[in-house]
Structure 1
Amino acid sequence: MAVCAEPSFASHAILGDRENRPVLSQREIEVLIAWLLAESKEEAAAGLFISASTVSTHISRIRAKYDAAGRPAPTKAHLLARALQDGYTDLDRW
């Protein structure tokens, strides 16, 4: 799975020097992208060889980081938008 670990130049230009971009671990990014691509947490979990509850835990922690940054992401669509805005993935992937 190709995942952008750092924002690209283009996303950096859109974001500027936004200080409220939460820092996600490489594993959090992997889980987030797998879940966004999947139809369910169970499907994402199977692809990552982890349990669905572990996927839920990662997604909850990611949401908490966005909440703490003042950029809530209560839905899957919001998390996709945040991942795009912050350079954790790009439109070519979707």
Structure 2
Amino acid sequence: MIDLDTKFHFHDGKMTVQRTQDCTPIAERMKALHNGGHHGTSEMKHAASIPFVIIEDYCNKNNITFHECMSNKEHMRRMLNDPDLSAFRVWKGKV
């Protein structure tokens, strides 16, 4: 379940959208899967579960749509290999 909180802020005729998500449960689940050896099979690795707000932030920073992010393997590869996102990795190998 994606538990997102969205707030709208208005100031000087401009609107800012603030999105937050508690990512701790996802990181804890990925750690438990990793520690339990649940990395998938040799043909299909369970690499990670990246929270939606992180994917959304990546899209905003790279000026791409969610569809483009999901359909272009290079975008996913960048996120999966990003050491800052290692808490969301199950299988720690290079993608």
TM-score by length of 1: 0.28
Q: Which has the higher helix share?
A: 1
- Name which structure has the greater RCO, CA cutoff 8 Å, separation 6+: 1
Q: Which has the higher strand share?
A: 2
Bigger Cα Rg = 2
TM-score by length of 2: 0.28
